[in-house]
Structures are given as structure tokens and as C-alpha cells.
Amino acid sequence: MDFRDCYGRDPEGSWRAPGRVNLIGEHTDYNDGFVLPFALAQGVTVTAARRDDGVLELRSLQSPDALRVTDPEPGRVTGWAAYAAGVAWALRKAGYDVGGASILIDSDLPQGAGLSSSAALECAVALALCDLYGIEVPRPELARIAQRAENDFVGMPCGIMDQSASLLCTEGHALLLDCRSGLSAQVPLDLTGLSLLVIDTRAQHELVDGGYAARRAACEEAARLLGVPALRDVEDLAAALRALDDPVLRRRTQHVVTDDHRVQAAVGLLRAGAVAEVGALLTASHLSLRDQFEVSWPEADVAVEEAVRAGARGARMVGGGFGGSVIALVPADRAEGVRAAVTVAYADRGWEAPRFTDAVPSAGAHRVS
Ligand code: GAF
């Protein structure tokens, strides 16, 4: 089925926005900290044409639903369509006069695998609407508009990482983003001799359901008690941990502050060409996410453990947690062994077989035709 089959006319163009893997710096974005994601080759493609009646028509090759949204308002649109309609709403709220459109969505990103399929959808729609209506929005601002769609229209209190990764990443690089200032730098990610294996643990994640929001609220409460604007501002971790009475808030703070440090350390190693050395930081980040931030899940812990046992230089869960994917940094000649070890460990436990993809640091969102 193509655009013509759906809408009986030709499209005006196609736009593609990638999913992401975050190399390191998890749950640091909404603490005004640092992240280091890169864009995947997999993503969401939107094919679209303007409509002159303001209506948004939405179809997806991954869903049987056909939706017509006449007046996008929070709460009125649910499911996958809310991410697309939310972007039109957020663009209009930001003062950009985007009109209606017929939109066909296609994706080769697994949903719920923690690879940011929602942000990819938002960013592809955002680019399409801006281009169709001849509106130029700087990409960092477009990322904030897409984030607003997710925060205020979908109701998921995410940070700015995923939308920034989808819009700002470049091929062969990771994106060092300062989530407070919005300043970013491209950091070369040369994987020669290494494989960055994405292991879809097949435990689906659902971030709208409360665990993510609870983590965010705990971080904000810790910052408030410590008298700093955000956990990024904690300079003396030991003193901060002594000052917090609540052991849960102490654990959350410890994770955020140390993961911010790990981002800086990883950037130093990448810039020095010591990519394999980043592995140890990945595993340290995973243990922190498991034990201090408490967002890991059994399939991720087993994947990390088995990958490292089979020769990965390091591995960790990626994204918000509670399900999704793990990445493992593996010498190329050990990649087969790692896949086999994780597959056997899952089979032994009676779990659904994991899926593997080699991550290739790819281009950010762009017009395709
Ligand atoms: C999810 C969110 F959408 C991001 O903003 C980020 O907080 C991430 O979880 C955790 O690092 O992907």
C-alpha cells in the first residue's frame, strides 16, 4: 500500500527520522545533564501532502487504523496517532502556522524496544509539516517542540534526548548534548574492529505507565532538598549523599551524578580513539541503573552478564528502562559468540528469543524525496 492507494493522489514528499541508541548518560537529560546518543539506520518515514482544510489524515503501514483529526487537542487523540497529531498541535502552539496534511507513516523500528520509535515519529512528522508549509525552525527548537508534543499532548514527561538525537545526530558520530544549555558537539564514533550490538530483550517497555514519571519526580525532589536547580549541579556527591535522609533519593542522586561523569569520561575516550575502553563505562552505567536507579529488568541483566562473559568489552540497558534493549560493545570476532551466549541463556530460562542488530551510527532526520 502506498500514499496513492491511501489517499488517491500523489504525495509532495517523504521525510525520514531515525531511532537512537544512547551510548551513555541515562536519565540525565531531565536532570539538566549530559547525554551521548547516536542515530540508528532504522527509523520512521513519513510521506505527506498538504490539505487546505486544516485536517490531519493519518495512516500507518503498521496499523489498520485510519484517523482524521480536525482539531488536535490533548486528550482527544490516543495511541500512535497522538505522537503525530501532538506535533501539529505543538507547532501551532509555538506560533507556526502549519495547516492540514495527509500523512502515511512507515517504520522499521520495533516499537517498545527502547530505541525511540515515538521520537522518530514525532521528528519525521515535524520535518514534514515544516517543509510542506515552508516554515524554517532551527533543529534544537524543533526538538523542543516535539518534546512538548510528547510531554503535554501524549502525557509522557520525557526529557530532550530522544528528539535531539533524531534531529541533530550525524553519520559516524555520537551527539554530546548539554541538556541545560542545548549546546551540542559531534563526537566521532569509529567502530572499526568493534560491533555495537543492539539486543532487543523482547520485554516491551511502556514509559507512559508511571515508573519513568516517578523517577523524574524523585530526582526533582532530591534537587529541591539539596537546594540546587537540578541534580546536574551537585558538585560534591559525598556531601549530597550525606545530606539526603531518604535512601531512595540517595540512590537516584548517586546514579544521575555518576552517569553524568561517565558521559564526560566516554567523550574523552572516544576523542582519544580508545573506543573499546568505553566498554567498562557501559557496564558501570548498567550496574548503576540496575542498583541505584532501579529501572533495569531481568532480561536486560542476563543479556549484559552473558554478553560480558562471552567477550563483550561492556554492555548496558538503553533508554528509560523497564523493558527494551541492551547494547553491547563487542570486538568483531566475538560478536557471534556473544549472540550465541545470550540466545542460549534466554532459551535456558524459557524466555522469548532475543533479536540482534548491529548498530550503525547514522544520519539524523532528513528529507528523502
Ligand atoms: C526515555 C526518555 F524519553 C528520554 O528523555 C530519557 O530520559 C531516557 O528515557 C532515559 O535516559 O527515552
Q: How high is the mean pLDDT in each 10-residue block of the chain (369 residues)?
A: 96 98 98 98 98 97 94 92 97 98 96 92 98 98 98 96 98 98 98 97 78 96 98 98 98 98 98 98 99 97 98 98 96 98 98 97 98
CA dist 301 and 324 (Å) reads 12
Question: Which residue's CA is the nearest one to ligand 1's atom 9?
Answer: 320
Decide: pTM greater than 0.95: yes
Phi, psi of 70 (to 5 degrees): -90, -35
d(CA 179, CA 184): 9
In terms of residues, how long is the chain?
Answer: 369
- State in Å: Cα 331 to ligand 1 middle: 28
C-alpha 333 to ligand 1 mean position (Å): 32
| Extended beta strands in the chain, E state | 13-22, 34-35, 37-51, 56-60, 63-69, 100-107, 173-178, 184-188, 194-200, 314-317, 325-331, 355-358, 366-367
CB 128 within 8 A of CB 84: no
Looking at the CA of residue 159, tell me the nearest atom of ligand 1: 5
The candidate with the shortest Cα–Cα distance to 119, out of 42, 203, 25, is: 42
For residue 159 and ligand 1, the question of a CB distance below 6 A is answered with yes
- Asked whether 161 lines ligand 1 (CB < 6 A), one says yes
Please indicate whether residue 131 is annotated as part of the active site: no
Taking residue 6's Cβ as centre, other Cβ atoms within 10 Å add up to 17
Q: Is 27 in the pocket of ligand 1 (CB under 6 A)?
A: yes
Residue from 158, 208, 317 to probe ligand 1 pocket by mutation (most atoms less than 8 Å from CB): 158
Q: Within 13 A of 128's CA, how many CA atoms are on the CB side? A: 35
107 assigned ligand-binding residue:
no
Return the axis-axis angle of helices 161-168 and 117-132, rounded to nearest 10°.
50
Q: How far apart are CA 28 and CA 210, in angstroms?
A: 18
Task: Determine whether the annotation assigns residue 296 to a binding site.
Answer: no
**7-to-3, 49, 82, 121, 151 alpha-carbon distances in Å:** 6, 10, 20, 20, 30
Q: Rg of the Cα trace of the chain?
A: 20
The pLDDT score that the predictor gives to residue 110 is 86
112 is in an annotated binding site: yes
> Which distant-in-sequence residues (6+ apart) come within 8 Å of 239 by Cβ?
none
CA of 314 to the centre of ligand 1 (A): 21
Ligand 1 atom nearest residue 26's Cα: 11
Cα 163 to Cα 139: distance, rounded to the nearest angstrom: 10
From 161, 260, 289, 295, the mutation candidate for ligand 1 (largest count of ligand atoms within 8 A of CB) is: 161
- The whole-number pLDDT of residue 208 equals 55
What is the distance in A from the centroid of ligand 1 to the CA of 18? 15
> Which of 29, 150, 180, 293 to mutate for ligand 1's pocket (most ligand atoms within 8 Å of CB)?
29
Strand partners of residue 89: none
Dist. CA 34–CA 28, nearest whole Å: 6
Nearest to residue 314, comparing CAs of 261, 278, 361, 344?
A: 278
**Distance from the alpha carbon of residue 163 to the mean position of ligand 1, in angstroms:** 10
5, with CB counted inside 10 A (0-12, 13-18, 19+), is exposed
Give me the pLDDT at residue 8, please: 97
Asked if residue 199 lies in contact with residue 317, where contact means CB atoms within 8 angstroms, the answer is: no
Distance between alpha carbon 336 and the CA centroid of its chain, in Å? 26
Interval between CA 155 and ligand 1 midpoint (Å): 14
Q: Angle at Cα 367 formed by Cα 361 and Cα 369, nearest 5°?
A: 120
Reduced to 3 states (helix: H, G, I; strand: E, B; else coil), residue 319 is: coil
Task: Please name the amino acid found at residue 85.
Answer: A
Of 269, 272, 252, the closest CA to residue 321 belongs to 252
- Among 32, 106, 162, 259, the active-site one is 162
CB 298 within 8 A of CB 270: no
According to the annotation, is 26 in a ligand binding site?
Answer: yes
